[in-house]
A and B are shown apart, each in its own frame.
Chain A
């Protein structure tokens, strides 16, 4: 009986400890990731383009910037893919965000790491997008801000109206 009580106390203590894991805390400000960025796939050296739009920052109650959403379009060779993104800043730094991409059409989700540049700047001038698991490319570095600015809705609409991408042969 004593052992049962002891076990109960231990488990109860563990549960209380788990609960304390859930503790909303101030996060680095994600709004500096907002915007549209595009550029070429840099690794592997293939014909590919990436457009990333970070569009929404869900504001935590209390005014702290929280999770972020957006979308990513990849055109690798003949295949164009569109996925929505959800993620958050790396808790350790305001320079990186980890995002999960959910592609349209039932393709396998993948993760990307987005780092904003230059380091220390308030607003991202460029971003680097790196595969963090399952992405169709390894890295797209130095994606510049889009001109003109594109929203996720506009990016999706452009895919509905645009012809299929054409592979440019060397």
Chain B
């Protein structure tokens, strides 16, 4: 059976003969001998789709003195599917054909042995038990369109574009853009025109030229694949949508988008207060936050604290996060405390600074206090919270002292009406200020109705040595209730 030679496709009426079934199987299924056992396979998802024979192909046996003993293979049509497992890619499928006009069918199983290469086993039941199973190899063209199946030096060429299937036509658009802020969800709107009315998710692939895998989620229905990208890194991305139809034909479309990383807004330092006097050797609470125009309030890793204890000298790192504690070993005046905010994408920084003085500690450190609720770290601006007069305002603070227990501290909440936001205390408020609350880290206050009034809520702690530390926030209380 080794003296068969392929000839060009037979023309109509060309003389031909008959051949043994084994030959047909060898030519048709066309799968070569297995490679060395143990060769590591790999996946190649291009082994997918329907491959058809572009034109009849004639195969002849070279026996010089006989009439032309040829057969004609026509109408071969094989559908393959690719399944990937950790060990590599596998192939399975089947199809139909005509041999000298007689119909037949075959089944195919295989494994991918390399990029564009597979080892296959085929079964053609009609050839009889002895000849029905054949093994061979197949190769794919680089574009995945052409499949060449071979056995014993005989090859059958099949093509995806010979099946009467039109390739899909893919378009991709971005409804807004092309520039987007870092962190902003971006919707990529794909459209497919094809005989197929739906596509499995794995056949609609979005890829970024800059980032793989492309973060986000696929949202597809029918012929409208969409992708919401949720974490594209700053820079220019060429995003490509590749769609493969059930016949294995592919089209792709691309758009360019640019992800802009703007620097954070100027951070806000809550503690220590401007011009505060700090004691050397005593713990000092630093608290602040920063807002990024693209991603919102920045997380702890994006905030860094440093201090300059010598005018013109270097800034020394002293901690990170929204809140940290520092101890200044020696007196210094002035001391500049700086909060540096870095965008989460690392593309920009902004800083805020506060000047304080550090005086010699008297051997007794002042308390450290901070108002926790309402939480000013979660809001922008100096107004922390709005209340209606119908609700009870709940306040929570924390306090710490190196020498005294919490129970030994004199704790005090006061509520001072202001002339406006960031204004001075109102000497003649429309309603009396609520009474102070003492002896507690919490306070529940029912503000009296009096229109819209801004208050400064102050929490103070005084230790046994008479040293007082305070923290404050601004709130607004309104009698005007919108139903």
Query: Which A residues contact B (CB, under 8 angstroms)?
Result: 4, 8, 11-12, 15-16, 18-25, 27, 56, 58-62, 66-71, 81-91, 98, 100-109, 152-153, 156, 159-160
Q: How far is the CB of B97 from chain A (nearest CB, A)?
A: 9
Chain A residue, CB-CB nearest to B127: A22
Chain A residue, CB-CB nearest to B128: A21
Contacting pair A12 B66 (CB below 8 A):
yes
Please, what's the 1-or-0 string for B14-39, where 1 marks a CB less than 8 Å from any CB in chain A?
00011111011000000000110111
Q: Is B5 an interface residue (CB 8 A)?
A: no
Among B35-93, those with CB < 8 Å from A are 35, 37-41, 61, 63, 65-67, 69, 71, 81, 83-93
Q: How far is the CB of A26 from chain B (nearest CB, A)?
A: 10
Q: How far is the CB of A37 from chain B (nearest CB, A)?
A: 17
Contacting pair B93 A102 (CB below 8 A):
no
* Chain B interfacial residues counted at CB < 8 A: 65
Complex interface: chain A residues within 8 A of B100 (CB): 19
Complex interface: chain A residues within 8 A of B103 (CB): 24, 60-62
Chain A residue, CB-CB nearest to B130: A21
Contacting pair B63 A61 (CB below 8 A):
no
Instruction: Report the stretch among B109-117, B271-279, B280-288 that lies at the interface.
Output: B109-117
| Given A82-B90, A86-B122, 11 additional A-B pairs, CB 8 A | A15-B18, A15-B19, A15-B20, A15-B61, A18-B19, A22-B104, A60-B96, A86-B92, A101-B109, A106-B35, A107-B38
Please, what's the 1-or-0 string for B99-141, where 1 marks a CB less than 8 Å from any CB in chain A?
1101111111111110000011111111111011101000000
Q: How far is the CB of A78 from chain B (nearest CB, A)?
A: 13
Contacting pair A71 B90 (CB below 8 A):
yes
Contacting pair B126 A102 (CB below 8 A):
no
Chain A residue, CB-CB nearest to B67: A12
Contacting pair A159 B86 (CB below 8 A):
yes
In the bound complex, what is the Cα–Cα distance between A23 and B105 (angstroms)? 12
Q: How far is the CB of B48 from chain A (nearest CB, A)?
A: 12
Complex interface: chain A residues within 8 A of B293 (CB): none
Contacting pair B20 A58 (CB below 8 A):
no
Contacting pair A91 B128 (CB below 8 A):
yes
Q: How far is the CB of A61 from chain B (nearest CB, A)?
A: 3
Q: Is B94 an interface residue (CB 8 A)?
A: yes
In the bound complex, what is the Cα–Cα distance between A15 and B85 (angstroms)? 45
Contacting pair A69 B37 (CB below 8 A):
no
Complex interface: chain A residues within 8 A of B319 (CB): none
Which of A8, A22, A69 gathers most chain B CB within 10 Å? A22
Contacting pair B123 A67 (CB below 8 A):
yes
In the bound complex, what is the Cα–Cα distance between A102 and B109 (angstroms)? 6
A-B contacts, 17 of them at CB < 8 A, read A11-B63, A12-B67, A24-B126, A66-B125, A71-B90, A84-B110, A85-B109, A88-B125, A90-B129, A100-B133, A102-B119, A103-B111, A104-B111, A106-B41, A108-B38, A109-B135, A153-B83
Q: How far is the CB of A77 from chain B (nearest CB, A)?
A: 16
Contacting pair B92 A69 (CB below 8 A):
yes
Q: Is B334 an interface residue (CB 8 A)?
A: no
Complex interface: chain A residues within 8 A of B129 (CB): 90-91
Contacting pair A58 B96 (CB below 8 A):
yes
Which of the residues A59, A70, A108 comes within 8 Å of B92, measured between beta carbons? A70
Q: Is B374 an interface residue (CB 8 A)?
A: no
Contacting pair A61 B96 (CB below 8 A):
yes
Q: Is B95 an interface residue (CB 8 A)?
A: yes
With A105-B41, A106-B111 already in contact, the answer to whether A59 and B105 are too (CB < 8 A) is: yes
Contacting pair B34 A109 (CB below 8 A):
yes
Which of the residues A4, A84, A85 comes within 8 Å of B65, measured between beta carbons? A4
Contacting pair B24 A107 (CB below 8 A):
no
Chain B residue, CB-CB nearest to A18: B20
Contacting pair B107 A67 (CB below 8 A):
yes
Among B406-452, those with CB < 8 Å from A are none
In the bound complex, what is the Cα–Cα distance between A61 and B23 (angstroms)? 21
Q: How far is the CB of A133 from chain B (nearest CB, A)?
A: 11
Contacting pair A104 B89 (CB below 8 A):
yes
Q: How far is the CB of A164 from chain B (nearest CB, A)?
A: 9
Q: How far is the CB of A102 from chain B (nearest CB, A)?
A: 4
In the bound complex, what is the Cα–Cα distance between A90 and B92 (angstroms)? 20
Q: How far is the CB of B69 from chain A (nearest CB, A)?
A: 5
Contacting pair A156 B83 (CB below 8 A):
yes
Contacting pair A56 B107 (CB below 8 A):
yes
In the bound complex, what is the Cα–Cα distance between A58 and B96 (angstroms)? 8
In the bound complex, what is the Cα–Cα distance between A79 and B155 (angstroms)? 36
In the bound complex, what is the Cα–Cα distance between A106 and B43 (angstroms)? 11
Contacting pair A84 B41 (CB below 8 A):
no
Contacting pair A58 B69 (CB below 8 A):
no
Complex interface: chain A residues within 8 A of B104 (CB): 22, 24, 60-61, 66
Contacting pair B121 A102 (CB below 8 A):
yes
Chain A residue, CB-CB nearest to B95: A58
Complex interface: chain B residues within 8 A of A91 (CB): 125, 128-129
In the bound complex, what is the Cα–Cα distance between A153 and B82 (angstroms)? 9
Q: How far is the CB of A6 from chain B (nearest CB, A)?
A: 12
Q: How far is the CB of A104 from chain B (nearest CB, A)?
A: 4
Contacting pair A22 B102 (CB below 8 A):
yes
Contacting pair A84 B83 (CB below 8 A):
yes
Contacting pair B84 A156 (CB below 8 A):
yes
In the bound complex, what is the Cα–Cα distance between A116 and B92 (angstroms)? 22
